[in-house]
Structure 1
Amino acid sequence: MKIKTTLTAAVAIAASGLAHAGVDPLTEVQPPQSEWMHDGTAPDHIVEVPSFQVPATGVIDYINSVIPLEFEEERWVKAVQFIPGDKRVLHHLLSYVVEDTANNEGMIDEAVNDPRREFLEGYAPGKEYATEFPENTGIKVPTGSALRMSIHYTSFGQETVDNTRVGLWFADENDQPELEYRTHSVSPGNRTENIVIPPGAMNHEMAATHVFENDILLRGFRAHMHYRGKAMAARVIYPDNTSEEIINVADYNFAWQPTYQMEEPMVIPAGSRVVVEGLFDNSEYNLGVPDPTVPALGGLQSWEEMFIGYFSYTDM
């Protein structure tokens, strides 16, 4: 199954050709002409995330922020981009479309799929560009909706203030999408009892599964682990018990967490089981491990671990 070539790979291919031509590739790199990276235009709407003063040290609880989207009519989001106020402290941000007065209390568990909210998109290290939803798809925002965000900050030894912005581009009124773009997270759960990685383990295996009860068109995938994440792959087992690989992120890197979009959507028939499998490295050879002599447990903070595969799809 073909996955779209990433920008990094495309640049590498172009650079290779320039090198053979005797041209220094760095002289050909053009800086972005705008901080907003979708079709050369400014967003139709910009959400200003409330400012947050990040202390120099300490553990920071997740921030739950709900911002009303006071649109006079229903909108369809065709692209979204996050511009962090300070990349050094914004660990990640997840955004959901919710009813303005519903489901706004408590902390979001990103491993749980709550039908009262619709995943819009998230920011994580490596997401420098706008996420553009496939043609004829988008995220529906009914009137009276709000944008609910789960925001994770981490301190780094210096006090700072974060002022993140979220840019939204809308589909034209006369060209509304026919398909809602949805995302389902597949995970064993992020609690302590769900993830236990032995000390020193270099290839600790983990897996999670989900059965789709209706026919879907799979359009993208994102892998999420923390610093011990080493690899993640996804495959589908069809109702006739045959299987097919979806994606293999063979060298997972916490600093590079894009959403991989398929060149062509993949038909997943009702009753098919998707399987997410991964490896963790909790050894001294992984420089991101805080302490390889103790077990790594599941949890929300960076020094803990997560294991989530995000499947993005539309109905058929």
Structure 2
Amino acid sequence: MRPTDLATHGSPHQPATPGRFALTVYLALSRTPHGLLDLATPFCAALLCGGGLPSAGIIALGCVTVFAGYTAVYALNDIVDYRSDKKQMENSGEDARCNYLDAAFIRHPLAHGCLTLPEAVLWFVFWAIAAFVGAYSLNPVCAWILIAGCVLETAYCLLLTVTHLRAAINGVVKALGPLAASFAVNPHPSPWFLAGLFAWVFAWEIGGQNIPADWHDASRDAAFGARTMPVVLGYAKASRLAVACLIASLLLSMPLLALSPLAVSAPLWLAAAVLGAILVLPPAAKLVRSQSDADAAALFNRASCYPALVLVVLVVHLLVR
């Protein structure tokens, strides 16, 4: 099925108006609903590292650049995983999950045949060039970080059947966006701040994103020979690791916010930690008990909102200080 067959519907199994560009298919390729929430993380980093709001020009260019970067990297994931995703679907049938953020439109549209590989590659190249130009304009270091992210994302995908420790690469890739945002607003950020920022995002990504995302595919992955945290560690250990990583991320957030150049006040950095705990720990604890796909989806969805919650707290700090 071609993108023009999917103009008005989010499913490849529904009729559509022919001859129209199906933007939703491309947005599904880049997991845009998830990607939009991810934008909060580099925005948080920019505020924390810059000590306040950047200039209007940097804000405008930064918004375009981070959107382009996340759009490109998520599309790259599906492009590199195209053959393995297609083989898994052929061997195990349709993916019937629901209430899962990454399947808001359709999951793996390339493997489903909703668009061709050249079309997907052109989409990736367009956004990658836009992201590179924007990143280089902000700071050449940001452009090199973008290239590193694309290389590491490719390595992450290619290691699917090699080792479950590839999850660490996923954590690094997710942390590179906030690191780039830091260099965009401060040419010489503190190494200690960068280390704390990296650890905060890395722990959140592993506990709230990587493990629950791979949870859904565990049965397929096991049959396919893939090596992921839930497959190798088992559901019990993987769920406990998710809880531990999320707790670590929440604890790391407090000194990060307090000691950053933004110097977030104690009531607000404490509020960010408490509200974050209320957001992510109940579904994580429930996953430990139930070990169900539905609870893994709930954890993934709620953890995806955590950076946006922190961003709201930072905006409040800017308004009241």
Structure with higher helix content: 2
TM-score bracket relative to the smaller structure: under 0.3
Structure with higher strand content: 1
User: What's the TM-score once normalised by structure 2's chain length?
Assistant: 0.24
